Amino acid sequence: MCGIVAYLGQKEAYPILLGGLHRLEYRGYDSAGIALMQSSGITMYKKKGRVDELQKFCNNLDTSGSLGIAHTRWATHGEPSEQNAHPHVSEDGSMALIHNGIVENYIILKQQLVNQGVIFQSDTDTEVLVHLIKNVQDKEKVSLPEAVIIALRMVEGTYAIAIISKDDPNQLIVAKKGTPLLIGIGDNEYIIGSDGAPIVEYTKQVIYLEDGDVGVIRIDKPIQISNVNDSKNLHRSPYIQTLELNLEQLEKGGFDTYMLKEIYEQPKAVRDSMRGRINLEKDVVSLGGILEYEQKMLNARRFIIVACGTSWHAGLVAEHLFETLVRVPVEVEYASEFRYRNPVIYEDDVLIAISQSGETADTLAAVEIGKKRGATVIGICNVVGSTMARETMAGSYSHAGPEIGVACTKTFTAQITVLALMALSLAKKKGTISMSQYHKLINDLESAPDKIESVLHYEQQIQRIAQYVATKPNAMFLGRGVNFPIALEGALKLKEISYIHAEGYPAAEIKHGPIALIDTNMPVIVVAPEQHTYDKVVSNIQEIIARKGTIISIVTEGDSVIKKMSKFTIEVPKIDELLTPLVTTIPLQILAYHVALIRDCDVDKPRNLAKSVSVE
């Protein structure tokens, strides 16, 4: 969740580190810090708040040096503060370290160090690492790389770390387990990042460290990589890959915010997620990444979908797609609950993990459980080369392009598209779908980008609705069938970026309790396109109006019934019922966006959140 960047080369490190922090800020933004190797030793600057605060603070200070490490934090242990910000340093100030992840046994390790007289400066788990490494180095009289390996063998949990030490001012040490770390190889320079964002400006040649790897980076020698699990400490030759990322994808491209840009990118994202996967001539839908396991999927007794947050909502949409089309039972699970529930898993189950980042700790843990219990484990993720992409047996990328806004938008619609393609491909092969239904769905799927485009034109109209919703302390979102997950997603979008309390319910469920909340002050946003439960939703709306609730509806173009019952209405183009989420979710994203702007919230970096939740 935190962002890590480090530099070793011939240039001034500071501007590169600062630029990297800005690009990584979506991973965490409650404090930031930089440590630079200077002739006098390590100089460190830290600040609570955004990277801008750190930058302002550093103006007019000495930021020289061509080796440095920098970090932007999402607090886990210890509140956001200067003291808890990274880097953390050894007691004598000769070693500095940045960390992403969690040291799970930090209490025991800390106690052991405290017993030896070490004085801690922060409340973080990370500080244990720097003291532990220093302690090992001093006691065992070993080199720093050796000390790092010995120390990391004592550490339980996850880490991506970068270390500099005054003892060897030309050396940068990195290590990773359970959370990503990349070494970018430039021209006589190395840029390290917790993802490709701070690297791509300088090089596309990268090494993805494997779990347990410790890399020693110097300008005068080739990179040495060894692994903490290798008792012989042998070095392996690094495997250099090309980063699949463009600089333009990381810019705002004329939009005020990443989130708005990403909302508007949805026609392209959905198109890209279908690209090369539908062959109209041969009349096949094919997802190359899962072909090897297709037979297992065709023979599946059950699909278990695991995910968190918005990806979980995509899983709920998939439940409708798979059960309707493939006629196999589907269970959709919160990964965080599934992993601790001792679930019953059969060898002929197929577990599908869905994740934008491919780094969500709970979803990755669910993947491990699925694998251990013998299920076929398939991944759907957006970030190429992510841990999920490597840990699942097979999978499909959602191909939405990088998503920087913390709230998921385009990756949600891209996930649904991939899941629809998967369901269609399996259904056709199993013969559980008629050819006319198959062709209609393919047709409608192909029309989805244009239909999403047309909904984007309603932004101004939705802005007016936002003026109304922004004045309310609560909101309720209702939907049925395949649009119930869209109600949940609408509520999640609103609460996470505008901080208005919002709940999503299946429309019929409200009479079992939530209807008690309805009064003139409660906007009720009903997702009610043409679908087989339309008349039932009309009755649910009547019940709300009878209690003086205010209806804001999302309906299919040409609707006359619900429109008349609503204070505000947004019309979306007609599309097959199973694919309606692709269009009904768009107005809800735009609504949340404008409510957040009106309430002066930072839509790209909502409070307390971070983009990839790599801690449990």
Catalytic residues: 2, 611
124 binds ligand F6R (CB under 6 A): no
Measured from the CB of residue 309, what is the shortest distance to ligand F6R in angstroms?
A: 2
Judged by CB under 6 A, the number of residues near ligand F6R is 15
How far, in Å, CA of 270 to CA of 274, rounded?
Answer: 6
356 binds ligand F6R (CB under 6 A): yes
Residue 118's closest CA among 133, 105, 104? 133
Residue 349's closest CA among 393, 297, 312? 297
The DSSP secondary structure of 22-62, one letter per residue, reads: HHHGGG--SEEEEEEEETTEEEEEEEES-HHHHHHHHTTS-
Q: Which is nearer to ligand F6R, 407 or 562 (CB)?
A: 407
Measured from the CB of residue 308, what is the shortest distance to ligand F6R in angstroms?
A: 4
Please pick, from the candidates 84, 226, 360, 413, the single residue that binds ligand F6R as defined by CB under 6 A: 360
Q: Which stretch binds ligand F6R (CB under 6 A): 67-75, 240-248, 268-276, 353-361?
A: 353-361
Q: Which is nearer to ligand F6R, 345 or 492 (CB)?
A: 492
408 binds ligand F6R (CB under 6 A): yes
Residue closest to ligand F6R when measured from CB atoms: 309
3-class state of residue 10 by DSSP? coil
Measured from the CB of residue 388, what is the shortest distance to ligand F6R in angstroms?
A: 8
Measured from the CB of residue 360, what is the shortest distance to ligand F6R in angstroms?
A: 3
Chain positions 495 to 534 lying near ligand F6R, rule: CB under 6 A, are 496
By CB atoms closer than 10 A (0-12, 13-18, 19+), residue 94 is middle
Q: Give Cβ neighbours of residue 111 (< 8 Å, ≥ 6 apart).
A: none
Q: Which is nearer to ligand F6R, 319 or 576 (CB)?
A: 319
Q: Which is nearer to ligand F6R, 14 or 593 (CB)?
A: 593
Site string for ligand F6R, 288-327 (x = CB under 6 A): --------------------xxxx----------------
Measured from the CB of residue 178, what is the shortest distance to ligand F6R in angstroms?
A: 15
How far, in Å, CA of 229 to CA of 207, rounded?
Answer: 19
Residue 377 has a CB neighbour count (10 Å cut-off) of 28
Measured from the CB of residue 611, what is the shortest distance to ligand F6R in angstroms?
A: 7
363 binds ligand F6R (CB under 6 A): yes
Indicate the helix (H) or strand (E) that contains 72: strand 67-73
Task: Tell me the torsion sign for CA atoms 15, 18, 24, 26.
Answer: negative
Q: Which is nearer to ligand F6R, 135 or 398 (CB)?
A: 398
Q: Which is nearer to ligand F6R, 87 or 401 (CB)?
A: 401
Measured from the CB of residue 357, what is the shortest distance to ligand F6R in angstroms?
A: 3
Please pick, from the candidates 84, 179, 227, 357, the single residue that binds ligand F6R as defined by CB under 6 A: 357
Q: Which is nearer to ligand F6R, 185 or 613 (CB)?
A: 613
Instruction: Supply the angle between the helices 410-430 and 309-325 in degrees, to the nearest 10.
Output: 20
612 binds ligand F6R (CB under 6 A): yes
Residue 358's closest CA among 346, 366, 350, 349? 366
Q: Which is nearer to ligand F6R, 68 or 193 (CB)?
A: 193
Residue 162's closest CA among 362, 24, 365, 11? 24
How far, in Å, CA of 557 to CA of 574, rounded?
Answer: 7
Q: Which is nearer to ligand F6R, 23 or 46 (CB)?
A: 23
Instruction: Report in angstroms the alpha-carbon separations of 55 from 17, 21, 96, 419, 559.
Output: 11, 10, 20, 43, 53
Measured from the CB of residue 186, what is the shortest distance to ligand F6R in angstroms?
A: 29
Please pick, from the candidates 113, 172, 350, 613, the single residue that binds ligand F6R as defined by CB under 6 A: 613
Q: Hunting for tokens 């505008």 — which residue is that?
A: 498
Measured from the CB of residue 232, what is the shortest distance to ligand F6R in angstroms?
A: 36
Q: Which stretch binds ligand F6R (CB under 6 A): 183-191, 267-275, 356-364, 368-376?
A: 356-364
Q: Which stretch binds ligand F6R (CB under 6 A): 65-73, 351-359, 498-506, 591-599?
A: 351-359
Indicate the helix (H) or strand (E) that contains 303: strand 302-307
Q: Which stretch binds ligand F6R (CB under 6 A): 237-245, 354-362, 422-430, 451-459?
A: 354-362
Residue 242 has a CB neighbour count (10 Å cut-off) of 9
Residue 249 has a CB neighbour count (10 Å cut-off) of 15
Alpha helices per DSSP H over 299-434: 309-325, 335-338, 361-372, 387-391, 410-430
Q: Which residues bind ligand F6R (CB under 6 A)?
A: 308-311, 355-357, 360, 363, 407-408, 492, 496, 612-613
